[in-house]
Structure 1
Amino acid sequence: MARDVQFTFDCADPAALSAFWAEALGYQVQAPPPGFDSWDQALEAWGVPPERRNDASAAVDPEGGRPRLFFQRVPEGKQAKNRVHLDVRAAPGLEGEERMAALEAEAERLVTHGAKRLERHEPAPPLAFGHIVMADPEGNEFCLD
């Protein structure tokens, strides 16, 4: 049986983190339900108090083929290194210096959107092609691969 999957992130600021990941992956922040021009309008109509309106957010693939990313507010901050992380495939089919240049360009772009660069791993053929470890605005590690 085929199953859908979504990735859920615990975070402090769901709206900001969903906007970051939408930018990083070419996704978009999920649109409000039909009949509403904004999420704030929908949440107001549903009686959600203002202080609870950033409890969740989602980013979706505009073409619908990739998993939904769901962001939920939690009271505690990030405690340790991620056990699972995303690899953002920013240089498919590239090798060597061309690959690393493409990864560097993407790292620079994401830093302007709030990411932090953590470390660069050089290519070490035959198995390691090189990658850059990054962190999103709330410190969740991911790799540019």
Structure 2
Amino acid sequence: MGAMTVRDIQVTFDCGDPGALAGFWAHVLGYVLQPPPAEFDTWEDALAAMQVPPERWNDASALIDPDGRRPGVFFQRVPEGKTAKNRVHLDVRAAEGLDGAERMAALERECTRLVALGATRLERHEAISLLQGGHIVMADPEGNEFCLD
């Protein structure tokens, strides 16, 4: 077996409104919208120059980590809505280094902030052990589950 190659990844969401969902996740993650190609001031200018019809301008949106260390997040429009539980979900680290009541208080504060942005609180789970701390299950505005952890 040869040497393993480490690869960058991008997380992709199928969704109904890429622009709106990208805006939500930008606030959750502290990411920014991917800038348009260097020769354009706005995505609208770029898409018009690429002759993309205006009704297709919200077919996709992308976020990047402003520090360039974490994976990109891509949102693509699909015709069908979400119908079942996610098989893969994001764990948003909102209480790193904390445990017990302090951890859960930090998660509750972040939960409150995200509900104000359009998320839905689904379930709170108390800590089971040192290896499995408490967490809060939430859903983004299109129903995709994620955890505050």
Which residues of 2 match residues 1-145 of structure 1 at below 5 A? 1-145=5-149
- Displacement of 1:33 in angstroms is 1.0
Q: Aligned AA for 2:131?
A: L
Q: Deviations over 1:11-34 (max 9, x none)?
A: 000011111111101111111111
After TM superposition, the score normalised by the length of structure 2 is 0.94
Which deviates the most, 117-126 or 53-62?
117-126
Quote how far apart the aligned CAs of 1:45 are: 1.1
Measure the CA separation in 1 of the matches of 2:6 and 2:88: 22
Measure how far apart 1:119 and its partner are: 0.6
Q: Give the whole-Å Cα distance in 1 for the aligned partners of 2:123 and 2:145.
A: 11
The gaps in structure 2 that reach 5 residues or longer are none
* Counterpart-to-counterpart distance in 2, 1:32 and 1:112: 29
Matched residue SS, 2:51: coil
What is the aligned length? 145
| CA distance in structure 2 between the partners assigned to 1:2 and 1:74 by the alignment | 30
Q: Which runs of 5+ in 1 are unaligned?
A: none
State TM-score, norm by structure 1.
0.97
Aligned-residue Cα RMSD (Å) equals 0.9
Give SS of 2:12's match: strand
Distance 1:127 1:31 in 2: 39
Runs of 4+ in 1 over 3 A off after TM superposition: none
Letter in 2 for 1:124: I
Work out the CA distance in 1 between the residues paired with 2:129 and 2:12.
34
Which residue identity is paired with 1:34?
Answer: A
